[in-house]
Amino acid sequence: MNAVDIINKKKNENLTYDEIKYMVDGYTNDSIPDYQMSAFLMTIYFKGLSLDETSWLTEIMVDSGDQIDLSFIDDVIVDKHSTGGVGDKVSLIITPIVASLGIPVAKMSGRGLGHTGGTVDKLEAIKGFKTELSDKEFEDNVKNVGVSIIGQSKNLVPADKKIYALRDVTGTVDSIPLIASSIMSKKIAGGADAIVLDIKVGSGAFMKSEERAEELANTMVSIGNKLKRKVVAILTRMDQPLGNEVGNLNEVQETIDVLTGKLKESDVIDVSVEVASQMVLLGNKADNIDKARQLVKDSISNGKAYDKFNEFITAQGGNMDSVTGNDNVKELVVKSDKRGYIEGFDTQDVGHATSLLGAGRLTKNDVIDPLAGITVKAKIGDEISKGDDLFVIRTNHDNADDSINILKNSVRISDSRDIVNKSPIIKIISS
What digits encode the pLDDT tens for the residues 182-224?
999 999 998 899 999 999 999 999 899 999 999 999 999 999 9
In percent, the amount of the chain with pLDDT more than 90 equals: 78
Q: Which helix (H) or strand (E) holds 429?
A: strand 425-430
Alpha carbon 151 to chain centroid, angstroms: 14
**Chain segment 357-395, per-residue pLDDT in tens:** 988 876 767 788 999 999 999 999 999 999 999 999 999
Mean pLDDT computed over 144-153: 86
* pLDDT in the model for residue 60: 98
* Residues catalogued as catalytic: 81, 160, 167, 182, 186
118, pLDDT greater than 90: no
13-23 exposure pattern, b = at least 16 Cβ within 10 A, e = fewer:
eebeeebbbbb
Is the distance from CB of 354 to CB of 222 less than 8 angstroms?
no
C-alpha 133/C-alpha 148 separation (Å) is 9
In the beta sheet, which residues pair with residue 235?
199, 427
> How far, in Å, are 73, 192, 414 from residue 146 at the CA level?
10, 15, 47
In the beta sheet, which residues pair with residue 107?
149
Q: 92, 85, 128, 126: which is closest to 109 by C-alpha?
A: 92
* pLDDT in the model for residue 173: 87
73, pLDDT greater than 70: yes
The structure's pTM equals 0.93
152, pLDDT greater than 80: no
User: Would you say the C-alpha torsion 215, 220, 222, 223 has a positive or negative sign?
Assistant: positive
351, pLDDT greater than 70: yes
* pLDDT in the model for residue 326: 67
* pLDDT in the model for residue 153: 66
90-112 exposure pattern, b = at least 16 Cβ within 10 A, e = fewer:
bbbbbbbbbbbbebbbbbbbebb
